[in-house]
Amino acid sequence: MPTIVIDGPVMKSVEQKRRMVEKLTDAAAEVYGYDKKIITVVIRENSPENVGSGGRLIADIHAESS
Amino acid sequence: MPTIVIDGPVMKSVEQKRRMVEKLTDAAAEVYGYDKKIITVVIRENSPENVGSGGRLIADIHAESS
Amino acid sequence: MPTIVIDGPVMKSVEQKRRMVEKLTDAAAEVYGYDKKIITVVIRENSPENVGSGGRLIADIHAESS
Amino acid sequence: MPTIVIDGPVMKSVEQKRRMVEKLTDAAAEVYGYDKKIITVVIRENSPENVGSGGRLIADIHAESS
Amino acid sequence: MPTIVIDGPVMKSVEQKRRMVEKLTDAAAEVYGYDKKIITVVIRENSPENVGSGGRLIADIHAESS
Amino acid sequence: MPTIVIDGPVMKSVEQKRRMVEKLTDAAAEVYGYDKKIITVVIRENSPENVGSGGRLIADIHAESS
């Protein structure tokens, strides 16, 4: 029943999401010593306008550095 | 002030969401013994490409079983 | 795989938690039209010193009204 | 590494999000006594059809009061 | 109904929590243009053994730098 | 700034937590193509009385199967 929620950027492809789910599940199953069948992963994709770091929007940090 | 967050699939209709909010709120209010006025529900709808079970995307599990 | 997380006060007994899990699961299973086997519930118990409503700690609201 | 997640309505503009990230970060940094560089904020925007208060959808409460 | 959840370290005092709730609520109410009465804050206190940054436990980072 | 939150059982040792943080961080960093420095992991440990699966407390499922 463990649940992993990962909050990050918008992802590039279904293949990238597939790998994320596979690798996070394998990591958790191994460390807990659980069958991976009972592990759920939820990927949250966030726009750079909806995340801030150090008090600034990621969208603004990206705009400045480009 | 209790808050219920439910992470599940994309829902079929506003009517289904209305019933989800009503039933989860009633359940929590009854068990806590609280007025339902102070209970908040947030429904998160997740694409089958963003959820994994047992290390595989729900999108892939669905594709295989159809 | 739906997951329900409920954030509320410290609960009174295991029996109260048992009823919370049962009722929230039944509600979600019925509205989604899913088997309840795939539904997970996580109860988070929060001290009144760790929750605020309207800008004030629940602990302070309780102290004032008692 | 503190992380602030705020669940609220759909926001009006990037400028409003910019101010939210700035003000929440400043508040947390000051109270913790931390450099704001290590604070992350995630803004979740929720449709009024996906949030309930007192057992009713925000969408329905709005419809009735307008 | 907006809800703010802040995940950070164990806090030093009730007074520090009181200020956190007050300041985060004021910030969100002002930016949303809402009455602060409808805003909830939940403070999650995490042990340095339960948080990692850059792949290392905060507990280990602290041990090394002291 | 990606943040991984894992909700599972009470863990056995600090060493187990250390490995969980290390492995989840490595997995996410590799799949996103990010430096692991910007990834945060939060481990939430839940009592078997506070988690339900299929409408039943984990504590009850364990008691029955032992």
**What integer pLDDT is reported at residue C4 of this predicted model?**
98
CB atoms < 10 A from the CB of C8, how many? 22
**What integer pLDDT is reported at residue C47 of this predicted model?**
98
C40 chain-A contacts, CB cut-off 8 A = 1, 3, 40
D15 chain-E contacts, CB cut-off 8 A = none
**What integer pLDDT is reported at residue B12 of this predicted model?**
97
Of A26, A29, A30, A21, the closest CA to residue A2 belongs to: A29
**What integer pLDDT is reported at residue C1 of this predicted model?**
86
Residues of chain D with pLDDT > 70: what percent? 100
Classified as helix, coil or strand, D57 is strand
pLDDT digits (tens, 9 = 90+) for D19-54: 999 999 999 999 999 999 999 999 999 999 999 999
**Confidence category of residue F53, pLDDT binned at 50, 70, 90:** very high
pLDDT digits (tens, 9 = 90+) for A21-58: 999 999 999 999 999 999 999 999 999 999 999 999 99
Longest dimension (CA), chain B: 45
Q: Give yes or no for residue E66 having a pLDDT over 80.
A: no
Kindly report the backbone phi and psi dihedral angles of residue B57, in degrees, each rounded to the nearest multiple of 5, phi listed first.
Answer: -65, 140
**Confidence category of residue B32, pLDDT binned at 50, 70, 90:** very high
Q: What is the CATH number of domain A3-65?
A: 3.30.429.10
How close is the nearest chain E Cα to the Cα of F64, in Å? 30
The C-alpha atoms of residue A24 and residue A32 are separated, in whole angstroms, by 12
- List the subunits that have 3+ CB pairs under 8 angstroms with D: A, B, E, F
Chains A and F lie in contact, requiring 3 or more CB pairs less than 8 Å apart: yes
Q: Give yes or no for residue F1 having a pLDDT over 90.
A: no
- List the subunits that have 3+ CB pairs under 8 angstroms with F: A, C, D, E
Q: What is the mean pLDDT of residues C48-58?
A: 98
Of C51, E15, C38, B18, the closest CA to residue D47 belongs to: B18
CB-based contact (8 Å) between C46 and chain A?
no
**What integer pLDDT is reported at residue F59 of this predicted model?**
97
- Which residues lie closer than 8 Å to B43 by C-beta, 6 or more apart? B6, B8, B11, B17, B20, B21, D50, D51, D52
Least confident among A50-54, B30-34, D62-66: D62-66
CB-based contact (8 Å) between B60 and chain A?
yes
Length of chain F, please? Answer: 66
Kindly report the backbone phi and psi dihedral angles of residue A39, in degrees, each rounded to the nearest multiple of 5, phi listed first.
Answer: -105, 130
Of A30, A31, A66, A27, the closest CA to residue A48 belongs to: A66
F49–C17 CB contact, under 8 Å: yes
pLDDT digits (tens, 9 = 90+) for F12-27: 999 999 999 999 999 9
**What integer pLDDT is reported at residue B35 of this predicted model?**
98
**Confidence category of residue D1, pLDDT binned at 50, 70, 90:** confident
Average pLDDT across chain F, whole number: 97
The C-alpha atoms of residue B43 and residue E61 are separated, in whole angstroms, by 37
Tell the burial category of F33 from Cβ atoms under 10 Å away from its Cβ (0-12, 13-18, 19+). Answer: exposed
pLDDT digits (tens, 9 = 90+) for C22-32: 999 999 999 99
CA D40 vs CA A7, A50, B1, D21, E27: distances in Å? 11, 11, 24, 9, 15
Each domain of chain B, given as residue ranges in start order, spans 3-65
**What integer pLDDT is reported at residue E61 of this predicted model?**
96
CB atoms < 10 A from the CB of A23, how many? 19
Question: A4 with F6: CB under 8 angstroms?
Answer: yes
In which element (H, E) is residue A9 found? strand A3-9
**What integer pLDDT is reported at residue D65 of this predicted model?**
84
Question: D6 with D40: CB under 8 angstroms?
Answer: no
Question: E26 with E36: CB under 8 angstroms?
Answer: yes
Question: B21 with B47: CB under 8 angstroms?
Answer: no
**What integer pLDDT is reported at residue B26 of this predicted model?**
98
- Which residues lie closer than 8 Å to B45 by C-beta, 6 or more apart? B8, B9, B10, B11, D50
Q: Give yes or no for residue F38 having a pLDDT over 90.
A: yes
The C-alpha atoms of residue D60 and residue D22 are separated, in whole angstroms, by 32
**What integer pLDDT is reported at residue F41 of this predicted model?**
98
pLDDT digits (tens, 9 = 90+) for E15-63: 999 999 999 999 999 999 999 999 999 999 999 999 999 999 999 999 9
Q: Which two tokens stand for residue E62?
A: 């602290």
Question: D53 with B22: CB under 8 angstroms?
Answer: no
**What integer pLDDT is reported at residue B48 of this predicted model?**
98
**What integer pLDDT is reported at residue A66 of this predicted model?**
73
User: Which residue do the tokens 């994994």 mark?
Assistant: B52
- For the beta sheet containing E3-9, the strands, ordered from the edge strand earlier in sequence to the opposite edge, are A56-57, A51-53, D40-46, D3-9, E3-9, E40-46, C51-53, C56-57
E3 chain-B contacts, CB cut-off 8 A = 3, 40, 42
CB-based contact (8 Å) between A31 and chain F?
yes
User: Residue C40, Cα to own-chain centre: how many angstroms?
Assistant: 13
- Which residues lie closer than 8 Å to B41 by C-beta, 6 or more apart? B3, B4, B5, B6, B20, B21, B24, B25, D51, D52, D53
- As a whole number of Å, the end-to-end CA separation of chain D is 42
Of D19, C42, D36, the closest CA to residue A2 belongs to: C42
Q: Give yes or no for residue D66 having a pLDDT over 80.
A: no
**What integer pLDDT is reported at residue B66 of this predicted model?**
73
Helix (H), strand (E), coil (C) string for chain B: CCEEEEEEECCCCHHHHHHHHHHHHHHHHHHHCCCHHHCEEEEEEECCCCEEECCEEHHHHHHHHC
**What integer pLDDT is reported at residue C27 of this predicted model?**
98
